Chain A
Amino acid sequence: MRVEKPARYTGGEYNTPDMDKEHKLSFCLCFADVYEVAMSNLGIAILYDILNKDKDIVCQRCFAPWPDMGELLKEHNIPLMSIEKRKPLKDFDMIGFSLQYEMAYTNMLYMLDLAHIPFRAKDRSDDYPILIAGGPCTANPEPFADFFDIVYIGEGEEVNSKLCKLYLECGKDKRSFLREAAKIDGVYVPLLAETKNGITVTKVKKAVIKDLNKAPYPTKPLIPNLEIVHDRAVLELFRGCYAGCRFCQACFFYRPIRYRDKETLVDYAKKLLHNTGHEEIGLSSLSTGDYEDIYGVIADIKCLADSKNVNLQMPSLRLDSFSAKLMKGARKSSLTFAPEAGTQRLRNVINKNITDEDINKSMEIAFETGYSNIKLYFMLGLPTETDEDILGIAEIANRINEIYYRKRRNRALSINLSTAMFVPKPLTPFQWVEQISIDEMLRKQILLRNELKRIKGVKYNWHTAEVSKLEGVFARGGRELSYVIENAYNNGCRFDGWDEHFNYDLWLKAFESTGLDMESYSRQRDLEERLPWDFIDFGVKKSYLIKEYKKAMQGLTTPSCKNECQMCGVSSLGKCRRHKGEGNA
């Protein structure tokens, strides 16, 4: 075999829809990472399901080939093809990329290059497919906007079908199609957008599904024939998050908060268990523990799962929603907690409303229930962070250790402590904040590492500083960065999210050759400054983010919007679900 894991490219999965049906539009759903990562993405599964259920559309898939396969394709001059029918990408009517993280941008170009498709929208004639981007990276689409004909902002389920129908109506006339498409909520056409001083000013409104219960859900998903990252059936409980952690883009991006009713969830769970054969079912949401009747949902689904020898994977829970009730009957493998910061002061700044007492109490319950393996997630480089906050992380680990060994236990405690570097993201109250330098990131990591060495049973993992730096740059940069991405790809960058392929020097070279200063993207922004993503109406008002930013700097917290609306402004796009007894926004 000349390639590793050839099954990545052969398809033939159970539940594959009819690919030979007569159709008017061919769509290729792309993901700029390998099969195992792509097939674990719920968004891909949802869109694939919706598109293939449309009688006029056949949707196939194409994922980034691992370098061994990529080299072979280049060597033999074979264009990149879809998995299902081996159709060259350039022969599709539409190609949709789901962009999940900044470090996948070069892989997107890698796929276009292998598919023999010119990178920039302006260089592609009508003979080429319409290229569409979607996914969470569209919170700031500017760094990659020049590569795409269309960028979906918001939830693809809402926009996809409308766009496909419009495309058929326009008779494949690209110009008139794009002009009409730009009128649909959630559709951004970079080529047609007006700019002022290099910053886009044409307004685009985020697309939102009003009622999640009525939104289609893939209850007959493709079943991969090889092991993927999340090899399980997935049930999405709700979208959005009540918590309002100030560093978290997903929290604000996926608002308004919308639920699937318990009855709908149980019905989907039954279908998923019947149709997939998976050994495990997982509950997915940003903060699953906040679901109104989480105990009821877990109890019902656990009952279903047990009857079929299926494991219900317990969701990662916020410490304050943690309860012994949830843990009862679950497999005691490991428990994951994300306090994010080491001191109460810093947790207040980031609005992670968890106290030391919450942590202690939760740990006591966890240890009594039988857990001896704890995963802890923190962030370094948060705004206003001092060394004292970093040492606070070690103190938490120390305290957990102390709580565990208060009693005689059969097993040794194992703590896997991971730190990510804070990356200021658009559409968060921290979108204006400075990102610290790589040297400072390394200093903080070393400080913590040395401190943790003294604590028994702690294993420390950290995120590469250089990758975090680049994530920060591309998260908040403008259109000019597309030249850096292109240069980086031409220098040989691809699979940048994979440690073994990441090469920082090639990125430095790319910045150098474009004459752009990387550090200038890490700077503190003025609150009055026009930001590259300000043209998008996400629902959440900028004035709300400014208010939150100011509160953060004063160390003031904002309560969860679970019971009382905090007036972020998202209700202009749709109603938030709040707990019973409270009015809707």
Chain B
Amino acid sequence: MLSFKFRKALNAVYLSHIDILKTINKTLRRTHIPIDYSRGFNPHMLINMSQPLSLGIESLAEWATVQTSYDDPQGFLELYNNCCPQGLEASQCHITQTKPNIAGKVIASDYFIKNDKAVEIKEILENINKKPFFMEVKSKSGVYEKDVSPLIYRIKADADGIYLLSAFGNTNLRCDRFTEKLNQAFNLDIKLRDVTRLNQYVDQNGELKEVGEYIKGLL
């Protein structure tokens, strides 16, 4: 198994999850490393991606895992980065014997939200999860108000902006909708392009562990 961390930046922030998957698929084909394919009627590349990120948000920490016999992490980074379109460059690569199941294990993600006014309401922001904080949530059954405070694990503000650690994965706080709510509630002017995902975390024995560290532990 080969897992790699890549960014979703520049023009690539406007690519949907499915388009990212297809683009990475093509990039991997261009590397010409031996990748395994399913043996069904329509063979497809055996690849797993981390959970989808809202369109327009930059990320420094997306993950993908491919099933391959190729076992040179440094060589892969060189090959991949020569073959990928701008904005999807890889920064880490790890080879493991077992499937890390990143999408299934990730439970949190942290973001930096650039904003120079946030510091003025530092107190309010940093205590936002101490009491119910209602946000409009869209689901298949319709639109309803939901208390999202349990999904906000930590929030800090300084002169540069907001640092948010929140639920991500099967239980998810959508950062695009959360910033929209902050704009409404506190008259901020956060744009999607001001948001950057910094890392993704898995739960390991009740503690949050950054995905790269978690994979290294599997080696």
A→B interface (CB under 8 Å): 1, 5-7, 10-14, 223, 225-227, 231, 274-279, 308-309, 311, 331
Given contacts A13-B85, A14-B83, A227-B22, contact A276 B30 (CB under 8 A): yes
Binds A, one of B9-17, B68-76, B109-117, B164-172: B9-17
CB pair A12 B11 closer than 8 Å: yes
CB pair A7 B14 closer than 8 Å: yes
Return B9 CB to nearest CB of chain A, in Å: 10
Give the residues from 39 to 56 in chain B that come closer than 8 angstroms, CB to CB, to chain A.
Answer: 41-43, 45, 55-56
User: Which residue of the partner chain A has the closest CB to B36?
Assistant: A309
In order of increasing CB-CB distance, the 8 nearest A-B pairs are: A277-B26, A12-B11, A277-B29, A10-B11, A6-B14, A277-B30, A14-B85, A226-B19
CB pair B19 A12 closer than 8 Å: no
B92 at the interface (CB under 8 A from A): no
State A10–B87 Cα separation when bound (angstroms). Answer: 12
User: Which residue of the partner chain B has the closest CB to A275?
Assistant: B30
With a cutoff of 8 Å between Cβ atoms, the chain B residues found around residue A277 in the complex are 25-30, 83
Return B24 CB to nearest CB of chain A, in Å: 10
With a cutoff of 8 Å between Cβ atoms, the chain A residues found around residue B45 in the complex are 309
Partner of A227, one of B11, B14, B18, B30: B18
State A25–B56 Cα separation when bound (angstroms). Answer: 34
Partner of B43, one of A223, A225, A276, A309: A309
Most chain A beta-carbon contacts within 10 A, residue among B25, B30, B45, B84: B30
CB pair A14 B84 closer than 8 Å: yes
With a cutoff of 8 Å between Cβ atoms, the chain B residues found around residue A7 in the complex are 11, 14-16, 19
Partner of B10, one of A5, A12, A231: A12
Partner of A6, one of B37, B56, B84, B86: B56
Q: How large is the interface on B (under 10, 10 to 19, 20 to 34, 35 or more residues)?
A: 20 to 34
State A348–B27 Cα separation when bound (angstroms). Answer: 50
With a cutoff of 8 Å between Cβ atoms, the chain B residues found around residue A278 in the complex are 26, 29
State A309–B34 Cα separation when bound (angstroms). Answer: 10
Return B21 CB to nearest CB of chain A, in Å: 10
Partner of A12, one of B12, B16, B43, B56: B12
With a cutoff of 8 Å between Cβ atoms, the chain A residues found around residue B149 in the complex are none
CB pair B19 A225 closer than 8 Å: yes
State A224–B23 Cα separation when bound (angstroms). Answer: 8
State A169–B56 Cα separation when bound (angstroms). Answer: 45
CB pair B85 A223 closer than 8 Å: yes
With a cutoff of 8 Å between Cβ atoms, the chain A residues found around residue B15 in the complex are 7, 225-226
With a cutoff of 8 Å between Cβ atoms, the chain A residues found around residue B12 in the complex are 12, 225
User: Which residue of the partner chain A has the closest CB to B23?
Assistant: A225
Most chain B beta-carbon contacts within 10 A, residue among A7, A274, A275, A278: A7
B→A interface (CB under 8 Å): 10-12, 14-16, 18-19, 22-23, 25-30, 32, 37, 41-43, 45, 55-56, 83-87, 192
State A12–B14 Cα separation when bound (angstroms). Answer: 11
Return B178 CB to nearest CB of chain A, in Å: 16
State A395–B10 Cα separation when bound (angstroms). Answer: 57
CB pair A279 B25 closer than 8 Å: yes
With a cutoff of 8 Å between Cβ atoms, the chain B residues found around residue A6 in the complex are 14, 55-56
Partner of B87, one of A12, A275, A279: A12
Most chain B beta-carbon contacts within 10 A, residue among A274, A277, A309: A277
User: Which residue of the partner chain A has the closest CB to B10?
Assistant: A12
CB pair A14 B43 closer than 8 Å: no
User: Which residue of the partner chain B has the closest CB to A83?
Assistant: B11
With a cutoff of 8 Å between Cβ atoms, the chain B residues found around residue A226 in the complex are 15-16, 19
State A315–B42 Cα separation when bound (angstroms). Answer: 18
Return A297 CB to nearest CB of chain B, in Å: 22
State A223–B16 Cα separation when bound (angstroms). Answer: 16
Partner of A1, one of B25, B30, B32, B55: B55
CB pair B30 A225 closer than 8 Å: no
Return A227 CB to nearest CB of chain B, in Å: 6
State A279–B45 Cα separation when bound (angstroms). Answer: 10
State A227–B87 Cα separation when bound (angstroms). Answer: 18
State A14–B26 Cα separation when bound (angstroms). Answer: 10
With a cutoff of 8 Å between Cβ atoms, the chain B residues found around residue A231 in the complex are 22
State A11–B16 Cα separation when bound (angstroms). Answer: 14
Most chain B beta-carbon contacts within 10 A, residue among A10, A14, A225, A276: A225
With a cutoff of 8 Å between Cβ atoms, the chain A residues found around residue B86 in the complex are 12
State A563–B111 Cα separation when bound (angstroms). Answer: 69
Partner of B14, one of A10, A274, A311: A10
CB pair A227 B26 closer than 8 Å: no
With a cutoff of 8 Å between Cβ atoms, the chain B residues found around residue A11 in the complex are 11
State A32–B119 Cα separation when bound (angstroms). Answer: 48
State A430–B41 Cα separation when bound (angstroms). Answer: 45
With a cutoff of 8 Å between Cβ atoms, the chain A residues found around residue B25 in the complex are 277, 279
State A205–B208 Cα separation when bound (angstroms). Answer: 72
Return A14 CB to nearest CB of chain B, in Å: 4
With a cutoff of 8 Å between Cβ atoms, the chain A residues found around residue B55 in the complex are 1, 6
User: Which residue of the partner chain A has the closest CB to B87?
Assistant: A12
With a cutoff of 8 Å between Cβ atoms, the chain B residues found around residue A14 in the complex are 26-27, 30, 83-85
CB pair A331 B27 closer than 8 Å: no
Given contacts A277-B28, A277-B29, contact A12 B22 (CB under 8 A): no
State A585–B84 Cα separation when bound (angstroms). Answer: 48
CB pair B26 A331 closer than 8 Å: no
State A13–B26 Cα separation when bound (angstroms). Answer: 12
With a cutoff of 8 Å between Cβ atoms, the chain B residues found around residue A225 in the complex are 11-12, 15, 19, 23, 85
Most chain A beta-carbon contacts within 10 A, residue among B18, B26, B192: B26
User: Which residue of the partner chain A has the closest CB to B43?
Assistant: A309
With a cutoff of 8 Å between Cβ atoms, the chain A residues found around residue B23 in the complex are 223, 225
State A277–B21 Cα separation when bound (angstroms). Answer: 13
With a cutoff of 8 Å between Cβ atoms, the chain A residues found around residue B192 in the complex are 1
State A6–B83 Cα separation when bound (angstroms). Answer: 23
With a cutoff of 8 Å between Cβ atoms, the chain B residues found around residue A308 in the complex are 29
Residue pairs across A and B with Cβ atoms less than 8 A apart, 6 shown, are A7-B19, A10-B11, A225-B11, A225-B85, A277-B30, A278-B29
User: Which residue of the partner chain A has the closest CB to B41?
Assistant: A331
With a cutoff of 8 Å between Cβ atoms, the chain B residues found around residue A12 in the complex are 10-12, 85-87
State A227–B37 Cα separation when bound (angstroms). Answer: 21
State A311–B42 Cα separation when bound (angstroms). Answer: 9
Return B1 CB to nearest CB of chain A, in Å: 19
User: Which residue of the partner chain B has the closest CB to A278?
Assistant: B26
